[in-house]
Amino acid sequence: MKAIYNYIKEILQGIWTLITGMRVTAKYFFTPWKHVTQQYPENRETLKIAERFRGEVIMPHNENNEHKCTGCGICEINCPNGSIEIITKTLVNEEGKKKRAIDQHIYHLGMCTFCNLCIKACPTGAIVMDQTFEHAVWDRTLLTKVLNKPGSKIMEGVKE
């Protein structure tokens, strides 16, 4: 008798679970304006990305191809998994004084965990988080990027 009771109980529980699941489906079916999912990639033009979304570290340059990176290496030290490599060069100014400058700010996007530590640590605000997210490539070497653009230089007045 107990076995029959348990059998019926399980059937009723199964039906109740099904109704619960269908209730959610029905709710979204009859109130489409409440959908949180979006049609992608058809909605690229209107895609809304949350402000806090972290897609990729970038180094902004101004219209004169200037950036704020001094080559100090603090971002490299603070990156927990070695996603940043700083290669510096020495510049000599008109007075003969030597000064360190960035040669290549190398960023391994494929290793980055988007923790934001490098950006928080940068003393000059030279790097920021971008919201780009379509990073799929066939060749993973393409995920290694040089953030300072060719021929770029440091902005006037930026100090270590």
Residue 56 Cβ vs ligand SF4, minimum distance, rounded to whole Å: 9
Site residues, ligand SF4 (CB under 6 A): 57, 69-75, 78-79, 81, 83-84, 86, 105, 112-118, 122, 124, 126-127
CA distance 54 to 150: 25
Between 83 and 152, CB nearer to ligand SF4: 83
Residue 91 Cβ vs ligand SF4, minimum distance, rounded to whole Å: 15
Nearest by Cα to 57 from 44, 70, 43, 69: 69
Between 34 and 159, CB nearer to ligand SF4: 159
| Residue found under tokens 């970038």 | 58
For residue 102, what are the β-bridge partners? 88
Residue 95 Cβ vs ligand SF4, minimum distance, rounded to whole Å: 23
Which residues, in sequence order, are CB contacts of 92 under 8 Å at separation 6+? 98, 99
